[in-house]
Each structure stands twice: as C-alpha cells, then as structure tokens.
C-alpha cells in the first residue's frame, strides 16, 4: 500500500470506540515515527502517525464498501506485520469485531472457528489462500482477502483505491470489539467476547500503573494474535503516543542490539531465557531501559534472579487472561512496593480479586484457593455459549479464573497451579482434553493422557501417554507426525510414550499426577 502523505482525518467526538481513544492519543506531530521495522526485507522502514491514520482509514473504507452489518466479525490469520496491526485498528475504526487466529492453527481448527464465529470477512496469508478460502466459502463467508508480510495481497490492493479520510464508527463501551478463542477443557474452543470498554479501561489503567510516557520506545517482539502482543503491548504504546520497534519474529541477538534505543520490553518467560543465553546481554546494553515485563506463563525464580544479576533490572511480572486482559501487576514504582519474584503482584486499580475455598468461602491470607475476579476489564461471556458463560460466573458476578493461588498479608498474588490440567507451554495455553481427543481418533489408539512436565525453555513441555488397541502396533514418532498435520505445533506433544495401561484410582479416574511425576525429569 502506498503511504504518501496527505492531511489526516480527525477523530470524532468522544464515544466508546477504542480506536477513537487510541487515535486521540496520537501526538501533535503526526509526521513523527510511530513504528520502525527492525527485521526482514523492510528493515529500517518507518511508519509515521499520519501513515497509521491514513492506512487504517483506507482499510476501514474498504470494509465500509462491503456493506457489512455493524459488528460483523472479521477473522484474520496472517503473519505478523505492521499492516496486520493496521487491519486490527481498521476493524475497530469501522465498528466491527476483530477475530485474531494463531498462525499455527490447521484446517480442522480453522474450520471450527469459522463455523462458530460466522465471520463476514476472512483475511489470510496468500500462501494459504487455497485451503482457507475453501473452508470459508463452504461456510458461506462472503469475502476472503489475502495479506502478506511484504505488504502485498488483495486486501491492500483493494484498500489503496479507497479514500484516506474516514470518520470512526460510533460504538458504545459495551459493544463487542474482539473475540479471542481459548481452548476449553472439554476440547471445544470458547470465544471470549471483549468489549471496547473492557480493552480501553485496561489500557488506561496500565498506562498509569506502568508509567507509560510519549518518549517511551517499546520493543514489540510478541505475536499479535493474543492478548499480550495485540492488546497489552500495542495498546500501551499507542495510548501513550510512544514509538514501537517492530520485530516480526523474536530473535534474541536482534532484540539485544536494539535495547540501547528502547525503554520498554515485554516477553514471555521463554524469551527471557533466550536472551540470557546471549553474551551480549549486559548492564550496558540495558542502561537506557526502564521496564522489562513478563507474562503469559510462570517465570522461574532462577530466571528472575539471573536477569537481576546480568542486567541490573528487576523483571515486572503480571497476570492476565484472554477473558480479562490484565488483572494484577507487580509494582512499577518503588514507592508502591517491591517486585517480588514468584508472584504476579497486586490487583490492578478497579480490579477485584478474591481467593475462595471449594465451598466458595473466602480464604485467609496465605491459604491456597480458587481465584475469582471482577472489574471493567472482565469479558461479557463466551460467544454463543450462554450456559458455559453462566457456569463460569458466580451468582454474585465474579468470574472463576480456573487458576489456583493465594494472597499474602500484603495482598501479593501467587499462582500455584491451574485447575483442569491446563498446560502453558512457551506462553501458549494447551488443554489436554483437546489433544487427547485428536490422539484418540488416530488408528490403533484406545486411549490417551496428556500432561505437562517441566521444560527448561518452554516452562512446560507437552507429553502424551497412549494405550494401543488390542493387536495394534503404535510408535510415538508416527503419532506425533500425524498430529502435526492436524493441530498447531505448540499443542503437539514433544514425546509420546506407548504403555499398556494408564494409572487410575479406585474411581477409575486417570491419575495424571503420577504421570507428571514419572516423567518430571524428562527434559532435565
């Protein structure tokens, strides 16, 4: 898309549209750099704030030209690029609902998402157009566009013909802005419905809590198909009018080389482990940085301490979910308290958090129980799953996170486990029941059990124990290869063990705790 300069369109009077708030935070100098590309063939390319305004206007005008009903779902499964971020912003600008999909999802998974969400538009990478468009058109999706990392594709070809002036659609705070699919423990994915108000309220709180300023520079090295990269990182920089250094993929040496020009970095624990492996990570390279943030998975205390020793900085850990965006954070300012390794800090302003026992009664300090939350950031429910939504909220309106933890006397929250066997591998949620469902459909498989065990790089590694049918001969590598054709790679077990039976208790329930203990040292 050509981004030659022309007068920028102004934001409308204040309303509930998240885009309007983000656009209103653009700096007065629209020709200043908003995003600088740090890798790939476009290394060094700069996008001004005016470019962001014009490009989102053109894409929003394209969406308007399709005569879509207000609030239509726009599904996107594309590689990370600045243009992919602009698509997200344009969807908000046009008053529709953004549906980001992990680039690792395979055909069976995408088929479910398209069938469940019924998007009016699907945007995919050009290399996947053949099979994605087939699924989309079978589901009667009227529009399929392509968008590639090199700024080519039919979406931009059409958008460049549109006007670069666009008045953002007026939306109420409670109107739907995005649907994020999160796998369910039953194997059926659930679409968490996040409103403009959910996302904006959380971004505004984080702007203050983390001290965002216009002169900040964020190294953006996260994917943009989930909460961490798409909302927490992007909204933070945009709402502050701060520049982003944009990496399409995380590469530790490249990130370290840009630390002297940056002030903020966000990553999952795996990224910090990778950075610590580099000799170039020193106190000198981090001298200008003011904040390192970690989330999406537990940060090992060893990583927390190693980072302090190597860089002189203390990582800020926080806690959030697809259904709630951010919930807690360790303090940024020293006067608000210390950053305590192994904890996820204190509830954010406006967020209620309680720890309850199995009977729903409050737990005293330091006693482990179920975490429940409420606040303006908490989602409205699961897309087209009213019964599931009711199940996940208490009678008095608190959301059951499914996480187990405790609060100390100061209010700091520690996550000690996850109910329903959730595995977090490399920052991605993996639900065993979903993987077991795929395994059990494979020829010769009688039953299976999937668990997570400690992994030095990913936090947890997914493994499976499979019992063959009588007379069947199974091999782990062959089962892994079969799964790779069906599900996202981060869900595929790293090892599959063939055993004659699964350990069970007297009630016949599989004792996954025994499997986890048996293979605890598998990855060292």
In the sheet that holds 73-77, the strands lie side by side as: 143-146, 121-124, 73-77, 97-100, 176-182, 190-195, 381-382
Report the distance separating Cα 106 and Cα 484, nearest Å: 9
- Structural domain boundaries enclosing 405: 343-418
Query: 431 pLDDT band (50/70/90 cuts)?
Result: confident
Query: 418 pLDDT band (50/70/90 cuts)?
Result: low
Residue found by looking up tokens 């699924």 in the block: 135
Residue 72 sits in the same domain as residue 188: yes
Residue 402 sits in the same domain as residue 505: no
The residue-averaged pLDDT of 158-183 equals 96
pLDDT of residue 189: 86
Identify which of 302, 346, 307 has the alpha carbon closest to the alpha carbon of residue 327: 346
pLDDT of residue 12: 39
Q: At what angle do helices 432-440 and 476-484 cross, to 10 degrees?
A: 110
Identify which of 282, 289, 318, 287 has the alpha carbon closest to the alpha carbon of residue 216: 289
What separation in angstroms does the CA of 177 have from each of 227, 228, 387?
A: 13, 16, 22
Q: Which residues have CB under 8 Å from 155's CB, separation 6+?
A: 59, 62, 87, 123, 145, 146, 147
- Mean of all residue pLDDT scores within the chain: 93
472 in a structural domain = yes
pLDDT of residue 513: 87
Lookup: tokens for 524: 């060292």
State yes or no: pLDDT of 451 exceeds 80: yes
State yes or no: pLDDT of 84 exceeds 80: yes
Cβ atoms within 10 Å, residue 505: 10
Q: Which of 198, 215, 240 represents a domain boundary (last residue)?
A: 198
Q: For the chain, what is the domain count?
A: 3
317 in a structural domain = no
Q: Within 13 A of 202's CA, how many CA atoms are on the CB side?
A: 31
Report the distance separating Cα 174 and Cα 195, nearest Å: 5
The residue-averaged pLDDT of 207-226 equals 97
Residue 492 sits in the same domain as residue 356: no
Residue 63 sits in the same domain as residue 192: yes
Report the distance separating Cα 392 and Cα 322, nearest Å: 14
pLDDT of residue 283: 98
pLDDT of residue 9: 38
Q: Which of 146, 165, 198 represents a domain boundary (last residue)?
A: 198
Q: At what angle do helices 129-138 and 107-117 cross, to 10 degrees?
A: 40
State yes or no: pLDDT of 1 exceeds 50: no
Beta strands in 21-120 (DSSP E): 33-37, 46-48, 73-77, 97-100
The residue-averaged pLDDT of 408-418 equals 89
The residue-averaged pLDDT of 95-101 equals 98
- Confirm if 421 and 187 have CB atoms less than 8 A apart: no
The residue-averaged pLDDT of 218-229 equals 96
The residue-averaged pLDDT of 466-485 equals 95
DSSP string, 97-126: EEEE--TT--HHHHHHHHHHH--SEEEE-G
Residue 389 sits in the same domain as residue 459: no
pLDDT of residue 104: 87
DSSP state of 200: H
Question: Between 298 and 170, whose confidence is greater?
Answer: 170
Instruction: Compute the residue count for the chain.
Output: 524
Q: Which residues have CB under 8 Å from 150's CB, separation 6+?
A: 41, 42
Residue 404 sits in the same domain as residue 428: no
Q: At what angle do helices 82-93 and 49-65 cross, to 10 degrees?
A: 60
Report the distance separating Cα 79 and Cα 87, nearest Å: 12
Residue 407 CB-density burial (10 A; 0-12 exposed, 13-18 middle, 19+ buried): buried
pLDDT of residue 8: 35
pLDDT of residue 506: 55
Residue 387 CB-density burial (10 A; 0-12 exposed, 13-18 middle, 19+ buried): exposed
Q: Which of 418, 444, 463 represents a domain boundary (last residue)?
A: 418
**What is the CATH number for 165?**
3.40.50.12780
The residue-averaged pLDDT of 273-300 equals 94
Residue 77 sits in the same domain as residue 122: yes
Query: 7 pLDDT band (50/70/90 cuts)?
Result: very low
Lookup: tokens for 154: 């039919």
- pLDDT tens per residue, range 312-364: 999 999 999 999 999 999 999 999 999 999 999 999 999 999 999 989 999 99
239 in a structural domain = no
Instruction: Give backbone dihedrals phi and psi of 265, rounded to 5 degrees, phi first.
Output: -135, 135
Residue 350 sits in the same domain as residue 466: no
Report the distance separating Cα 60 and Cα 117, nearest Å: 20
Residue 486 sits in the same domain as residue 509: yes
Helix (H, G, I), strand (E, B) or coil at 180: strand
State yes or no: pLDDT of 3 exceeds 50: no
Assessment of whether the complete model's pTM goes beyond 0.95: no
450 in a structural domain = yes
**What is the CATH number for 441?**
3.30.300.30
497 in a structural domain = yes
Identify which of 203, 184, 199, 178 has the alpha carbon closest to the alpha carbon of residue 101: 178
Residue 176 sits in the same domain as residue 51: yes
Residue 386 sits in the same domain as residue 430: no
Provide the percentage of residues in the chain whose pLDDT is more than 90.
85
What separation in angstroms does the CA of 460 have from each of 283, 424, 455, 488?
A: 29, 6, 5, 16
CA-based torsion, 252, 256, 257, 263: positive or negative: positive
- Confirm if 171 and 16 have CB atoms less than 8 A apart: yes
511 in a structural domain = yes
Report the distance separating Cα 323 and Cα 343, nearest Å: 20
335 in a structural domain = no
- pLDDT tens per residue, range 189-208: 899 999 999 999 999 999 99
State yes or no: pLDDT of 121 exceeds 70: yes
**What is the CATH number for 388?**
2.30.38.10
Query: 404 pLDDT band (50/70/90 cuts)?
Result: confident
pLDDT of residue 274: 94
- pLDDT tens per residue, range 224-248: 999 999 999 999 999 999 999 999 9
399 in a structural domain = yes
pLDDT of residue 185: 42
* Residue 67 CA to its chain's centroid (Å): 30
State yes or no: pLDDT of 494 exceeds 70: yes
The residue-averaged pLDDT of 33-60 equals 97
State yes or no: pLDDT of 11 exceeds 50: no
The residue-averaged pLDDT of 281-298 equals 95
State yes or no: pLDDT of 447 exceeds 80: yes
Question: Between 109 and 506, whose confidence is greater?
Answer: 109
Q: Within 13 A of 221's CA, how many CA atoms are on the CB side?
A: 28
Residue 361 sits in the same domain as residue 503: no
């Amino acid at each position: 898309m050509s981004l030659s300069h022309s007068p920028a369109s102004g934001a409308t009077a204040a309303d509930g549209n998240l885009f309007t708030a983000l656009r209103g935070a653009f700096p007065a100098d629209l020709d200043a750099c908003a995003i600088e590309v740090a890798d790939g063939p476009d290394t060094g390319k700069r996008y001004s704030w005016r470019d962001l305004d014009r490009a989102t206007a053109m894409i929003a005008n394209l969406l308007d030209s399709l005569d879509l009903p207000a609030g239509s779902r726009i599904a996107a499964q594309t590689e990370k690029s600045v243009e992919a971020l602009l698509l997200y912003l344009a969807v908000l600008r046009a008053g529709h609902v953004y549906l980001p999909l992990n680039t690792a999802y395979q055909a069976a998974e995408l088929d479910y998402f398209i069938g469940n969400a019924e998007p009016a538009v699907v945007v995919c990478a050009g290399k996947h157009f053949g099979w994605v468009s087939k699924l989309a058109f079978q589901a009667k999706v009227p529009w399929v566009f392509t968008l590639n990392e090199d700024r080519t594709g039919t979406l931009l070809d059409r958008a460049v013909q549109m006007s670069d002036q666009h008045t953002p659609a007026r939306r109420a705070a409670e109107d739907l802005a995005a649907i994020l699919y999160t796998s369910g423990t039953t194997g059926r994915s659930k679409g968490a419905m996040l409103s403009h108000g959910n996302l904006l309220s959380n971004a505004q709180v984080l702007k203050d809590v983390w001290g965002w300023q216009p002169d900040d520079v964020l190294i953006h090295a996260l994917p943009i198909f989930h909460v961490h990269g798409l909302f927490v990182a992007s909204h933070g920089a945009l709402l502050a009018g701060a520049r982003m250094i944009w990496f399409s993929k995380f590469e530790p040496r490249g990130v370290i080389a840009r630390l002297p020009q940056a002030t903020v970095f966000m990553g999952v624990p795996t990224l910090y482990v990778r950075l610590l492996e580099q000799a170039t990570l020193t106190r000198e390279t981090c001298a200008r940085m003011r904040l390192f943030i970690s989330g999406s998975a537990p940060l090992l205390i060893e990583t927390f301490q190693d980072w302090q020793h190597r860089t002189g900085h203390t990582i800020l850990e926080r806690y959030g979910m697809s259904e709630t965006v951010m919930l807690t954070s360790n303090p940024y300012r020293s006067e608000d308290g210390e950053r305590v390794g192994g904890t996820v800090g204190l509830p954010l302003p406006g967020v209620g958090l309680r720890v309850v026992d199995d009977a729903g009664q409050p737990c005293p300090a330091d006693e482990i129980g179920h975490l429940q939350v409420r606040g303006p950031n908490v989602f409205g429910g699961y897309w087209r799953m009213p019964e599931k939504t009711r199940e996940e909220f208490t009678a008095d309106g608190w959301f059951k996170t499914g996480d187990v933890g405790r609060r100390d006397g100061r209010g700091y929250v520690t996550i000690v486990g996850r109910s329903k066997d959730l595995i977090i591998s490399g920052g991605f949620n993996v639900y065993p029941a979903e993987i077991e469902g795929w395994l059990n459909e494979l020829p010769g498989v009688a039953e299976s059990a999937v668990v997570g065990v400690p992994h030095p790089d990913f936090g947890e590694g997914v493994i499976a124990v499979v019992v063959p049918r009588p007379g069947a001969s199974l091999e782990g590598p062959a089962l892994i290869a079969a799964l790779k054709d069906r599900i996202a790679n981060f869900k595929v077990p790293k090892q599959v063990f063939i055993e004659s039976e699964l350990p069970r208790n007297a009630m016949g329930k599989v004792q996954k705790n025994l499997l986890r203990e048996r293979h605890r040292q598998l990855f060292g």
